Structure 1
Amino acid sequence: MEMGMDYTEVRNRPARRFSTFLYRRPTLYLLLLLTPPLLWFGVIYLGSLFTLLWQGAYTFDDFTMTVTPDFTLDNLKALFNPSNYDIIVRTLTMAILVSLACGLLAFPIAYYMARYTSGRSKAFFYIAIMMPMWASYIVKVYAWTLLLAKDGVAQWFLHYMGLEPVLAWVLGIPDIGGSTLSTSGLGRFMVFVYIWLPFMILPIQAALERLPPTLLQASADLGARPVQTFRHIVLPLAIPGIAAGSIFTFSLTLGDFIVPQLVGPPGYFIGSMVYAQQGAIGNMPMAAAFTLVPIVLIAIYLTIVKRLGAFDAL
């Protein structure tokens, strides 16, 4: 029995020494833990991304439809052509408008959740907000095309409310309207807002949860009106959550290619242009050049929202 115990102790001695060695060197231990995921991230993710971006400097022969590894900057220069520039501006404008609309709609919901719900009522709100995310993305987009169609639920409701003249006026506005809601810029905007709204509600709600109730009580005791309390206390403390949520809404809208294809008027977005260049035409260099645009725009946007404390609210 003693010999068995001695053998086990001797066998485990190297493992104990190694464990003690790592315990006394936490930096080395952390480095060993992070090395596998960092290698995966660096080699698989960043490596494939840089490989794709490098192909943006390749040459595409329009006649033979082949790609040759001849260095050129023509693809990057082509981004500033009027047609391609319009695609970038159209996508960027939609991303900004969707982020603003999501912020305006999400704030009251998030504020009510943070201030007036608890227990089961808060769980109900969480489930109600996240339940649409359980459905397939494409199914939700197709459902909205039916809702916004000419004889869909949206038009029936507006007819029931006597608002058809208003709808006709809105659909007649250039760049916003269309023949129906499902083929209008407004319809595309509504679908984007619906899909990305939960990504804005949750960060704002998390930021408002950290707002001490005693701070609001102190503001009221000092004679501040509710509007003053909101402007000088609630809103500044909620800005990091709004900025954090806008990271999701902005970047997801910027790279989406399904909604622009199924809802709204004809016209490419950055994501749909990348899909068309790579999937339909086979022009990988031009697709890679377009891929660089959202990366640059998101990097600039992250730099801006970082100053607003967005990363602290994630």
Structure 2
Amino acid sequence: MNNFSYKKASSVQEAVGQVSGHSEACFIAGGTNLIDLMKYNVAKADALVDLNTITENHEISEREDGGIRLGAFVSNNDTAYHPLITERYPLLNRAILAGATGQIRNMATNGGNLLQRTRCYYFYDINTPCNKREPGSGCSAIGGYNRIMAILGESENCIAVFPSDMCVALSALSATVNVSGPDGERSIPFVDFHRLPGDTPELDNNLRHGEVITSIDLPPKGFSQNYSYLKLRDRNSYAFALVSVAMGLELENNRIKEARIALGGVAHKPWRVVEAELFLENKEVNEESLGQAADIILKGATGYGHNDFKIDLAKRAIIRNGLMALNPAETQLPGAVPN
């Protein structure tokens, strides 16, 4: 780990000012990912600005439009177990509790969750080429061991996947990310927050240098009656998803009035295809309709040898998760709070 300076900020404006004029400075809140990256010499920030002493953005509150605002500095556990979330957005509750350990969720913040970096083996190994870590050096995963890698949205420069569980649910819920930076405040639709690798795999999201996430807005509709989060992984606890699916359904007369589907573990960002959601409108929830929607979602999916199995696994996960969403109380996760 390299040497770095450490400062505490008393306000968002102060934090932005301390980072925006310093190209190698980083914000730190929970630090559950950043500190690991620094230990592995993957991240080499020479200045850390601590956000924990900022008094604002530590709350979860109702918005005038009927939605919810999640403070960026609220911990993942406090978010998952907050009454407004368990009652109105249980899909988010389940997704958060599917990730990491309780200890990590107690430290990790909502804003930090959005900024997680890939757990690609080669990204963490500084002795191997990695375009995400060193642009232009090559992607070792394409011809290497790529079992956990992307099958959608990848490029010749990178096939890494985004690891967050929480973000898969936020994508399905059509959240909005609010940020503050040197040029003021702005809001970013969740679908536009994370990036596909393209020719710039080193860029995970569309934040500008010096911008900090201040809050996340959830729209009024939380799909609290019919929803499910399914995470398929190599072991049943504390592992990242091979494939995950967040689904919310609004049903009317046993048919789908509205559907939301987002996948994790398959791309450089949470993967959502609106075309598939529109296809499901006015359809019954069954294996046939869900399978057809899955084919739309997975159109163009490509395996790289060790991860070929993910394509079929993702289709079966979408179908299974849709059926689970019909009876969410029967598929309760350990530790999840029933609505």
**Superposition TM-score, scaled by structure 1 size:** 0.23
Larger Rg over CA atoms = 1
More helix by share: 1
Higher relative contact order structure (alpha carbons within 8 Å, sequence separation ≥ 6): 1
**Superposition TM-score, scaled by structure 2 size:** 0.22
